[in-house]
Structure 1
Amino acid sequence: MERRRLLMATNIPLESLSIVISILLIICIIASREHTKLNRLFLWMLAVNAFILGCDIFIWVAGGHPQLVCAMKVANFFVFNLGYLLVALFTAYMVTYIRGKGSIASDKIVPAITALCGVAVLLVIISMFNNMFFYFSEKGYFMRSPLHWISLVYPIIIILLDMVIILKHSRKLGIKDTFALLSYGILPAGAIAVQIFINGLALAYPATTVSLLIIYVNIQVEQSKRLREKELELTQNRIAMMLSQIQPHFLYNSLTSIAQMCKETPDKAGEATIAFANYLRGNLDSLTQKGMVHFDRELRHIKTYLSLEKMRFEENIQIVYSIGTTDFMLPSLTVQPLIENAVKHGICKKENGGTICLETMETAENYTIKVSDDGVGFDITALLPDERQHVGIENVRFRLAAQCAGTLKIESQPGKGTISVVTIPKTK
């Protein structure tokens, strides 16, 4: 009994402090308002860890009260099974983080470890009936069974597998990130090894809390910093994009054409003025648009722009729309610069004009947008003829990659025309 009181005096304050640390980290993550997959996984890890610690404290406090045995069995069930869930969540977190740095050696590690955890959970359920791992004495105390060590071997094996993957990608991760991720293996595994030999000492989840704190300081805070830098870069690119679209020659030519129409066809001039105002509003709205926009909105802006160009060039520009799907999102002003490129550097430089085709398609994995023209084309190995337009195209490529993991591919041959293909994965 004296030994139990000593263990309670050690375990309960240690686990209570671990709960407080976990809750504080949860508050910090939520306050950051960064809803990334990595943050969601980390939040789940913290929440599960805090819940396990709470259940374990309840088992210690309720020990010696036979009337609470049923409640203790339920709490113990959660402690064991959520422990395996916590290991699986860390594996998913680790794989997600490594994949963010580039490719990972095997994409099958998460399903494999999830399957191992599933087997461990099944064994715990069986133990609830045959007392294979644990049981509660008549006085209401948690007791280990002879095979209890098996329940601890499973998380050690999984943690060792995770550590192998981390070490395999250590060069990609860097020293600091490698150390932070390895701490999740070294500290809990060491604590579990101690628990195998010292019955009653609850070190595993406090050790897990310490490793989560290390990960937060070394990875999560740095990740938040990188996200803020990325957001700033995206904001600067939106400004550059907007400025690149407000081209003096285009504005001057459009206003000149409208002024001429006011004398000859006032009704048409009124329509052109509204279209011109909508075009400017679309460009200005893109400056404040931080997230993705629906393709329908992008398509309306494209049609507004092309109506102004057709007003200037009349029969020289033919437009063909082959819209297979519109039910998807993309960064604002992604397609319009490609259309502008087709008009300015393709059709307008061709003696008899030409045709621009805008096509959208949907596959099981992607949404595809294709802009093609039969204009003069250009040498793809060189910069676009207009350096500003080249910057605009690279801006589109950057925003696609940063906001939706999309890609832009341009093919062109002098005298044959240009094809620009935007590919947006259905899952980022």
Structure 2
Amino acid sequence: MDQVNIAINLYSALICLILLFSMWLNGSTKEKSDRFFMGMCLFNIGMILGDIPAWAFEGHAQVWYPAALKIGSAVFWSSSAPLLLMLTGYILEYLPIWRNPRRILWRVACTLAAVYLLCSILSYWNGMFFTIGDGNTYQRGDWYWLSQLISFFFFGLDTTLILICWKEIRKRDALIISSYVLLAAVALLIQIFNYGIALINTGTAISILIIYINIQSQRELRMEQQKKELTEAQIGIMLSQIQPHFLYNTLTTIRQLCELNPRDAKDAISDFSRFLRANMDSLTNKAPIPFEQELTHVRHYLNLEQRRFGQRLHVVYEITARDFFIPPLTLQPIAENAVRHGILRRENGGTVTIRSEETELSYVVVVLDDGVGFSHIPAETDQGHIGIANVRKRLLTLCGGTLEFFSAPEKGSTVVMTIPKGGKDHEISDCR
């Protein structure tokens, strides 16, 4: 039976080790729930490694076996409290619980875990939870009941949280979360009354595996939803650039140029057709594109606006960095905002400056104007400020980049886009 228990423990440890490395290699440390999950894997491995000496060395009369058994038992007990705390932390993060109650419950859980951990460490010397008796045998201590009472308090707390939030989460999620607690609690209950069967570590490992499957499925769902939102954002940006008034004004300008300056009319038609083509291409191109390509698209747009408004609109290009990637239709809507809501609201017009530069850690793209400016930052949902929310979201998702907006009355506005070098590991793509 000892060999069976050792084999079960090793398989359980292998499962947790694989899941731990999988989460680590995927960079899944951003969310607290992911970190709690990795903690569960780590401390369950600690319990397993501490439990193996009990089955391998107990009852054998080698000189160093009692020390190995005692140290292993101390490791087992010392890992139990953090494991229970990680499980409760994961559930607190997963369920829709208000911040203040979550904070209070977390403090209660931390206090109980600290008491459990302290008693586990002291048991190495005073035998509260376990002792190593004559003949190198493992025995439960006089205060063993306290450890189990704290464990079931944790399980009761977790169950109560699930029941409180039962109506606010999907039944599938509620059942999966319940299985985490149920498997570990049942395994512990069986092992209390049937010492000699290594169930607690196996039950916990299965619970962790179920958590992992749920995390991965939820992550895949988020990826699909994110892709859908990005596609909708691209369509929204594209449509915002070819609104009827823009089409009408551009065609009117071209018609006038046909009579006054056919050569300029020809160039305007070329700019307009390439502008429309780039917008249409963006619907099927989700990946970042070379900055030079996006800059060319912006030039087509600004050329059209300069032909329409003449001396009221000046454009300055200060391009010192070109060799990087940027999401399509990222720069153009920012330039359009500068023209429509900055320059053209001044009677005498003004200048739009587009600047790119390279720093040690990132590429920076700046769009600034000397237009009317704003006394407060416009809301991203304001229809007059198209694309800002979408651009910020797509920069973050596709490149790990950021967008900052600065403005002051009569001093103009500045938009700064920062794209980190090397690309972060993102779920969809990155700007490399």
Alignment TM-score > 0.5, same fold: yes
- The answer as to 2:343 corresponding to 1:340 is no
* Contact 2:380 2:389 survives alignment (8 Å): no
Paired amino acid for 1:16: L
* Contact 1:353 1:375 survives alignment (8 Å): no
- The answer as to 2:75 corresponding to 1:78 is yes
TM-score (norm 2): 0.61
* Contact 2:314 2:351 survives alignment (8 Å): yes
- The answer as to 2:48 corresponding to 1:53 is yes
2:143 aligns with 147
Mapped to 1, the partners of 2:380 and 2:37 lie a distance apart of: 44
Paired amino acid for 1:158: F
Any gaps of 5 or more consecutive residues in structure 2? 254-277, 289-294, 316-325, 354-365, 419-432
Mapped to 1, the partners of 2:217 and 2:38 lie a distance apart of: 16
1:18 aligns with 12
Paired amino acid for 1:117: A
Q: Which shifted more, 112-121 or 334-343?
A: 334-343
SS in structure 2 at match of 1:142: strand
Mapped to 2, the partners of 1:55 and 1:18 lie a distance apart of: 13
- The answer as to 2:95 corresponding to 1:95 is no
Paired amino acid for 2:78: N
1:232 aligns with 227
Paired amino acid for 1:384: Q
1:149 positional shift: 1.4
- Cα deviation 1:302-334 (Å, max 9, x = unaligned): x99999999887985799xxxxxxxxxx99987
Q: Which aligned pairs between 1:150-169 and structure 2 lie closer than 5 A? A: 150-169=146-165
* Contact 2:8 2:202 survives alignment (8 Å): yes
* Contact 1:26 1:47 survives alignment (8 Å): yes
Mapped to 2, the partners of 1:380 and 1:135 lie a distance apart of: 66
Q: Which aligned pairs between 1:295-306 and structure 2 lie closer than 5 A? A: none
1:338 positional shift: 4.7
Mapped to 1, the partners of 2:327 and 2:145 lie a distance apart of: 53
* Contact 2:92 2:102 survives alignment (8 Å): no
Paired amino acid for 2:83: L
2:207 aligns with 211
- The answer as to 2:383 corresponding to 1:384 is yes
Any gaps of 5 or more consecutive residues in structure 1? 254-279, 291-299, 320-329, 358-368
Paired amino acid for 2:127: N
| Change beyond 3 A, Cα 1:308–1:60 | farther
% identical aligned pairs: 25
| Change beyond 3 A, Cα 1:128–1:332 | farther
TM-score (norm 1): 0.62
Mapped to 1, the partners of 2:188 and 2:223 lie a distance apart of: 38
Mapped to 2, the partners of 1:44 and 1:380 lie a distance apart of: 40
1:214 positional shift: 2.4
* Contact 2:183 2:207 survives alignment (8 Å): yes
Paired amino acid for 2:50: C
Mapped to 1, the partners of 2:135 and 2:380 lie a distance apart of: 81
1:121 positional shift: 0.9
* Contact 2:128 2:144 survives alignment (8 Å): yes
1:150 positional shift: 0.8
Please provide the CA RMSD for this pair.
5.6
